[in-house]
Structure 1
Amino acid sequence: MLFLSPAFIAGAAALLLVIHVVVRLTSATAKVPGPVVSNFTSLVLKWHELGANRTMYLHDLHKKYGPVVRVAPNEVSFTSAAALKEIYGSGGSGYDKTEFYDLFQVYGKRNCLQNQDDEEMMHQVAADDSLKNRLVQHYSPTLHRVVSNVLASFAKPRSIPLADNFVIENAKEDGVADFTVLNRLKEKNSVLDTIDMAAECLDHMAAGIDTTGDVLCFLMWELSQPRSIKYQRLLREEFRSKPNAPFDELTLLDAVLNEGLRCFPAIPMSLPRYVPQGGRVIDGFSLPEKTVVSCQSFSVHRINDDVFPDPDKFYPERWLETEGDADRRRLQWAFSSGGRGCIGKHLAMAEMKTLLRDVYSQYETEPHESMSIESMAMDDQLISSRPLGKRCLLKFVPVTEEEKK
């Protein structure tokens, strides 16, 4: 019974611990700057993820350790333009998406939301509580099974019936316009079934609605603050002087929106990828295959203060300067980049510019008395950023005819 003695168990545990420490200290990621604990365990990172604080935790690490930081034994975060190009560059970079993206396997279809039923459907699709449930399932399957079994004794599992029924029925229909993605999928000799097509459609619907809304929410809040309210007047002057100009001639509007996207990216979180077979060298660090690497727009837009001086300040004028313009646009990463970047970027820009022009040519906005700076802090959700208070109330004050002239 020697093998069951306390002394033997303690010795074996100590030996395994020593081996683990030696392996970690000699690993490739050990050479990457970062907190000591991140070289031995990912528990700290997972704790922040489960607490909806991953983005700010990583950003604080970047502020302390620089543009490259080890955040877990097998995960490294980057902020440089070179890393963006290497990891997400077009032309088949070879960096595959991690299992993190399995969290978004839900159904839907992109369409115009016009009534209360549609609003409730989108709430079911993107509700924060359902995403937290998936996050627990992703990181602790055993815990999720235990909790689910206990809850099943008291209540039936909640699904998203409105979204499910809506998209599945639409996926079955034959009378679809020729130019839609759904019809293209049906035309080809594809193995995609109804559920596959429905899942593909939700990606476009959820991605195209919440993201633009989140950016406009934070941007219009910023424009309503005393420190930035002057931009409302400047925008109105530009709209008045160029009443029929296309968007590409409204330079201040473009600058305001780009600064809004820099300060308040709709997807501020990391977009993780696996290092391809054979390993890669990124920003001077040699990383083995299957290492998780990523960039997060929140930090890309702030750590590079040589490109974005005073990065925490809302300053649209920086986008009107000729010097350094190429570097700024190279690091403008609100829509990601490469072959898997946002395919709806130009549509989203047009939508947001249309709303900003229509609002600020007719109204001035100011915060509602019930709002506070604290309630508008960024709530680091799984797929987007929203106000911590879950709302943004603004007062729309009509501009007088004299002010319009």
Structure 2
Amino acid sequence: MLDFVYDRLSLSNALYLIPVAVVIVHLVPYLLDSHGVRKYPGPLVARFSDIWLGLVSKGGHRSEVVHKMHQQYGPFVRIAPNHVSVADPDALAIVYAHGNGALKSDFYDAFVSIRRGVFNTRDRADHTRKRKIISHIFSQKSVVEFEPQVRLYVGLLLQQWDRLFDMAVKGMSGTEGEGGWRGESGRLWLDCLPWANYLSFDIVGDLAFGEPFGMLKAAKDSALVPKNPEQVMNSYGKETLASDVLSIPAIQILNGRGEYSMSMGAIPKSWRPFVRHLPWYSQGQKDVQTLAGIAIMAVAKRLATPTDRVDLLSKLQEGRDNDGNPMSKEELTAEALTLLIAGSDTTSNSTCAILYHLARNRYAQEKLHKELDEQLGAEDETVATGPQVKNLPYLDACINEALRIHSTSALGLPRTVPEGGLTVRGQYFPQGTVLSVPSYSIHRDTSVWGEDVEQFRPERWLEGDDSAMHKTFNPFSVGPRACLGRNLAFLELQIIIASIMRRYDIVLEDPDFIVGLGRFHFLNLRR
């Protein structure tokens, strides 16, 4: 009996100690303030715990929330116990500079699945090696070689939309593709985002894996993954049987994977092994594994049937480091997965952002129509070519303006301050402090962009001296860790937008619709 009472008292004491321990773990670092960041304002919870940033990231609107914090507190905001967000254009060249010694923070560990790739490796020597192997595949010369594949799938997209339009003018409707479509008064209504996703996935599938996923033809979010990825990884050169694969909604899974990794990266590294077992995070972990399976399946299939075609994967295979060594098969697959992620979701979202703003701004759309008609020919129905879109200033201005408002890397990419510290805007930060510069916020700095920062106005890129804007413009990040594929990404956007806008006139189904990217109304005015 006494032993039973003693056990109950011990358990009771232990339960009381848990909240005390939690308080101590968070309060002591705040009081010690080893990085000297206590003086910076920010949300109360963020000063003591990473949970504020983790919940904000999970909500999917981190950039907007952090921006509101900057509007409230100023250019320096403490968004985690050891993380200060700096909303100042001049901070870009300091925090992300070449040779400053700053490293990616452990935020990037949450994006590792097969193995570390050029995006999520934090070791400087390892990144230098990977970058040397990979960078040549995105040279201007290589990008030109990829143009035929890009144009092929843009043409297929236009064929599908023309087919739906011809059915729509007859008053027909359907459910092809996610979001469906309908004809009304000789017009076609459809949701742009699923189709932009089909396009970007098919392009990157062809370039990175040697063949498209077939989403445009099927008008469906579908890709094949192996039931047992590890088995496929260990059996390169052997054919994968149809019974060993599954068809999955790749776009949906990519989105789930992104939300999961973004949220997990904001959580302390020591908590991650436990947090990933919670229901929402558990599903996110499955999405990570499934997406990796897509890359494993595609690369295994490609290596089982060697070809002399020129694409991203063939160029990755040709790459060598300073010692003349190629990438291992596992490393090759990890980089192919990076290409899939970086080349699909970002391109589709950017495409929709540009079309959305052109639909809202009739003046800009008509001005772009005029430039395309004059330079490319109003009667030419072929897909735009690289040389044709090379010198179209208003097209570039429209793309840049949409990327300013909807940057592909809107959040502040975190960097760990190196030995010797960094001084930003007169404020010194010691070694180990995490700093980030949010693109969403500096793209709305009125001292750079003017008072109309929330307006889509491409003309700002063509007015007088734009050196300050180009210095602040950060859609693909800057410095040694900037996006390697930015040349290819911009060419894709030029060809996609020029080809669509020379052919269609676009308006929003709901002219007052602002949040999200909405549904678009296609009129048969330019065929």
Please classify the TM superposition score into its range, dividing by the shorter chain length.
Answer: 0.7 to 0.9
Q: Which amino acid aligns with 2:32?
A: V
**Are the structure 2 counterparts of residues 265 and 168 from structure 1 closer, same or farther at C-alpha, using a change threshold of 3 Å?**
same
2:522 — aligned with what?
396
Aligned residue among 43, 47, 51 for 1:39: 47
Q: Which amino acid aligns with 1:120?
A: S
Farther-moved stretch of structure 1 (14-23 vs 329-338): 14-23
**Are the structure 2 counterparts of residues 266 and 148 from structure 1 closer, same or farther at C-alpha, using a change threshold of 3 Å?**
closer
Report if aligned partners of 2:103, 2:418 keep a CA contact under 8 Å in 1: yes
1:120 aligns with 2:120: no
In the superposition, the TM-score normalised over structure 1's length comes to: 0.79
1:159 aligns with 2:290: yes
1:382 — aligned with what?
none
Q: CA deviation at 1:365?
A: 0.7
1:80 aligns with 2:88: yes
Other structure's SS at 2:55 match: helix
Distance of 2:371 and 2:306 partners within structure 1? 47
1:50 — aligned with what?
58
2:257 — aligned with what?
130
Other structure's SS at 2:104 match: coil
Other structure's SS at 1:70 match: strand
1:205 — aligned with what?
340
2:108 — aligned with what?
101
Which residues in structure 2 correspond to 1:235-250 (within 5 Å)? 235-243=368-376, 246-250=388-392
Other structure's SS at 1:29 match: coil
Q: Which amino acid aligns with 1:159?
A: T
Which residues in structure 2 correspond to 1:265-304 (within 5 Å)? 265-302=407-444, 304=445
Write the deviation string for residues 15-62 of structure 1: whole angstroms up to 9, x where unpaired.
8887555313x7411233434443322222222122223212211111
**Are the structure 2 counterparts of residues 289 and 110 from structure 1 closer, same or farther at C-alpha, using a change threshold of 3 Å?**
farther
Distance of 1:112 and 1:87 partners within structure 2? 39
Distance of 2:410 and 2:52 partners within structure 1? 20
Q: CA deviation at 1:246?
A: 4.3
**Structure 1 gap ranges (5+):** 378-386
**Are the structure 2 counterparts of residues 19 and 361 from structure 1 closer, same or farther at C-alpha, using a change threshold of 3 Å?**
closer
Aligned residue among 348, 356, 363 for 2:489: 348
Aligned residue among 160, 176, 181 for 2:315: 181
**Are the structure 2 counterparts of residues 192 and 365 from structure 1 closer, same or farther at C-alpha, using a change threshold of 3 Å?**
same
2:235 — aligned with what?
none
Q: Which amino acid aligns with 2:523?
A: V
Write the deviation string for residues 360-389 of structure 1: whole angstroms up to 9, x where unpaired.
2222012236x9726x43xxxxxxxxx5xx
Q: Which amino acid aligns with 2:395?
A: L
Q: Which amino acid aligns with 1:124?
A: A
Equivalenced residue count is: 373
Q: CA deviation at 1:330?
A: 0.8
**Are the structure 2 counterparts of residues 230 and 49 from structure 1 closer, same or farther at C-alpha, using a change threshold of 3 Å?**
same
2:275 — aligned with what?
143
**Superposition RMSD on alpha carbons, in Å?**
3.7
Distance of 1:113 and 1:130 partners within structure 2? 21
Distance of 2:89 and 2:341 partners within structure 1? 28
Write the deviation string for residues 164-221 of structure 1: whole angstroms up to 9, x where unpaired.
2112333566545578332224797537431211011121222122212111102211
**Are the structure 2 counterparts of residues 372 and 278 from structure 1 closer, same or farther at C-alpha, using a change threshold of 3 Å?**
same
Other structure's SS at 1:311 match: coil
Distance of 1:85 and 1:214 partners within structure 2? 27
**Structure 2 gap ranges (5+):** 1-5, 115-204, 224-247, 378-386
Other structure's SS at 2:276 match: helix
Q: CA deviation at 1:119?
A: 4.7
**Are the structure 2 counterparts of residues 224 and 21 from structure 1 closer, same or farther at C-alpha, using a change threshold of 3 Å?**
closer
Distance of 1:149 and 1:52 partners within structure 2? 14
2:227 — aligned with what?
none
1:222 — aligned with what?
357
Q: CA deviation at 1:338?
A: 1.5
Q: CA deviation at 1:393?
A: 2.7
Aligned residue among 332, 342, 359 for 2:500: 359
Q: Which amino acid aligns with 2:473?
A: Q
Report if aligned partners of 2:48, 2:81 keep a CA contact under 8 Å in 1: yes
Distance of 1:110 and 1:271 partners within structure 2? 28
**Are the structure 2 counterparts of residues 398 and 52 from structure 1 closer, same or farther at C-alpha, using a change threshold of 3 Å?**
same
